[in-house]
Structure 1
Amino acid sequence: MIDRPDAARFAHVKDWVFDLDNTLYPHHTNLFSQIDVKMTAYVSELLTLPREEARTLQKELYLKYGTTLAGLMQRHKIDSDDFLEKVHDIDYSWLTPDPALGSAIRALPGRKFIFTNGNRGHAERTARQLGILDDFDDIFDIVAAGLTPKPAPETYDRFLALHRIAGPDAVMFEDLARNLVVPKALGMTTVLIVPRNFEPTFSEIWERDPAFDDAVDFVTDDLAGFLGGLAGSRA
C-alpha cells in the first residue's frame, strides 16, 4: 500500500533525514547495481575467488555485518579507503536531474541531511547529478560514522549528537525497513521508500525486510511526490 502524506503528522518536523542509495534516486535507475558489481569484483580479487563464490560471500558479509565493508574489515583487515574508492568508481550519468525532488526538498521547513552507509564522495556525486546537492545542510557518511554502518544503534546516536537532533523532531526516509527500527525507537517519524510499483529491477529477496514492518510509519514509491504533497498541504 502506498500512503498519501499526512501533513499533520509532519507538522512538528524540524530535521529531515534521507538515506542516499535507492532513496534519493529511484530503484529503477539501477545505479547501485554498479556498486554491487564492484564489491563482488573486490571480494573476488582480494580472496582469489570465482565470481559466484565471491558474490555469495559478499552477501553473507552484508547480512552479518551490515555492509560488505564492515565484514571485510572484520575478517580481512582491509584498507577502508581503498575499498570505498574502488566500489564507488561508477558512471553517475545513469541518473538524471530531478527538479521536482529538488523543489520539494527546498520547500521543507528545517534542516535536511543525507545519512548514508556510502562515503561522502559518492553522496556528493550522486546528489550533484540529481541537482539537489546544495539543498542539504550536511552529509553524514560511513567515515563520519566511524565505519560502523546502519543499522547499528551507536551510528544513529553519533549522527543525532553531531547535529543536535532530537528524535521526536525528525523524520527519516529509507529504502530498507531494518534501518528504520532504531529511528522509530528514538521517536523519529519513518518513511519507507519502495521500488516503483513494488517491482525492483535488481533487488534480491535477501534485501527485503517484511519482519521490520512495525518500524515503518509511511510507505511511498514516489519520494518527490510524497514530499511535494507535504509542501502543498502547508501552503
Structure 2
Amino acid sequence: MTGKRPLPHEGPQAHRRDLRIFKGVEAWVFDLDNTLYPHESDLFPQINEQISRYVQKILNLPPDEAMAHQKELYHEFGTTLRGLMTNHAIDPDDYLRFVHDIDYSTLKPDPDLAAAIEALPGRKFIFTNGDRPHAERTAAALGIADHFEDIFDIVSADLVPKPNKVTYERFLAHTGVAPARAAMFEDLAKNLSVPHALGMCTTLILPTGTRDVFQETWDMEGEPYPHVDFVTDELTGFLKAVLGAIS
C-alpha cells in the first residue's frame, strides 16, 4: 500500500489499477439487487422477508426456524430457490411471484445514475439472480430501464444462480458478450470470481460508508479478493470517474 489516501470513488486496489482499463470495455454488466440501488434501501430486506414467509408457508415452520432454514439453503445452494427446488420440489414460478411481491414505491428515480449509465459506451445488461419482472419494476422505479439492452434473469439461467460457472457461460452465449471486453458490477465478491477468471474487469459495490473499513480489512488480510479489480461504495460517482478516465 502507498501512503496516498484514495479518492472517494476508489477502493483498495484502485490506487494501483488505472481506471483507463475501462477504455476497452464494450459491454457493461450490472447485478441488480444492492448494486443498482443502494444497500440501505429497504427493497432487498422486503424480499428477504418474503423468502422467509414463503419457507414458513411451504414447510409449515415457525418464523425463527424458517429463517434459519432459509440461510442454510442459501449457503448450500447459492439461492434459497435452488435449495427449495432441490430439497422440497417447489414450483419456481410460484416462489418468484411470491418473494417479489413487494413495495417498490420507496425507490426513487436516480437521474444521476441514469445519466452515467446512458453515457457508458457500448452495450449494457442487467444480470440478476432475481426474475425479469422484478428487474423491470426496479429499473423502472430508478428511471434507468431504457438504458439497458436486455435483462438476463434466473429463468434465462435455467434457474441455476450465480456464482455457478455455467450461468455466466449461458449469459455470454445468450448475449454474445466477449468477456475480455466486458466489465461486471456486483455487490457479492463471490459472484465476481468467475467473471474475473473469464477476463472481465470486476467492480465490487459496497454499502455506503463502508469502503474504508473494507480497505482496512483488505490490508490486514493481504488482499483476500484478488478477483476484485475495483471497489466502490458509490456506484454513480465511480461510473462518472470511469467516464472521465476513458473520454
TM range (shorter): over 0.9
Instruction: Give yes or no for the alignment of 1:169 onto 2:181.
Output: yes
How far the C-alpha of 1:173 sits from its partner, in A, is: 0.1
Instruction: Give yes or no for the alignment of 1:142 onto 2:154.
Output: yes
Do the aligned partners of residues 168 and 178 (structure 1) sit closer, same or farther apart at CA in structure 2, a change above 3 Å counting?
A: same
Where structure 1 has 5 or more consecutive residues not aligned to the other structure, the ranges are 200-209
Aligned-partner residue type, residue 69 of structure 1? L
In the alignment, which residue of structure 1 is the partner of 2:193?
181
Q: For this pair of structures, how many residues does the alignment match?
A: 225
State the secondary structure of the residue aligned to 2:124: strand
State the secondary structure of the residue aligned to 2:28: strand
Which is higher, the Rg of structure 1 or of structure 2? 2
> Where in structure 2 are the equivalents of 1:94-133 lying within 5 Å?
94-133=106-145
Aligned-partner residue type, residue 95 of structure 1? L
CA contact (8 A) 1:102 1:131 kept: yes
Where structure 2 has 5 or more consecutive residues not aligned to the other structure, the ranges are 1-5, 212-221
Aligned counterparts of 1:30 and 1:219: Cα–Cα separation in 2 = 22
Deviations 1:165-202 (A, max 9, x none): 11111000000000000001000000000000119xxx
State the secondary structure of the residue aligned to 2:204: strand
CA contact (8 A) 2:19 2:245 kept: yes
Aligned counterparts of 1:125 and 1:211: Cα–Cα separation in 2 = 37
CA contact (8 A) 1:177 1:212 kept: no
Aligned-partner residue type, residue 96 of structure 2? L
Q: Which runs of 4+ in 1 moved over 6 A?
A: none
Aligned counterparts of 1:211 and 1:152: Cα–Cα separation in 2 = 23
Aligned counterparts of 1:198 and 1:180: Cα–Cα separation in 2 = 19
CA contact (8 A) 1:194 1:220 kept: yes
Deviations 1:47-95 (A, max 9, x none): 1111000000000000110100000000011000000000000000111
Aligned counterparts of 1:32 and 1:94: Cα–Cα separation in 2 = 11
TM-score, normalisation: structure 2? 0.88
Which of 213, 225, 230 is matched with 2:237 structurally?
Answer: 225
Q: What is the CA RMSD across the aligned residues, in angstroms?
A: 1.6
TM-score, normalisation: structure 1? 0.92
Aligned counterparts of 1:214 and 1:78: Cα–Cα separation in 2 = 37
CA contact (8 A) 2:47 2:102 kept: yes
Sequence identity (%)? 58
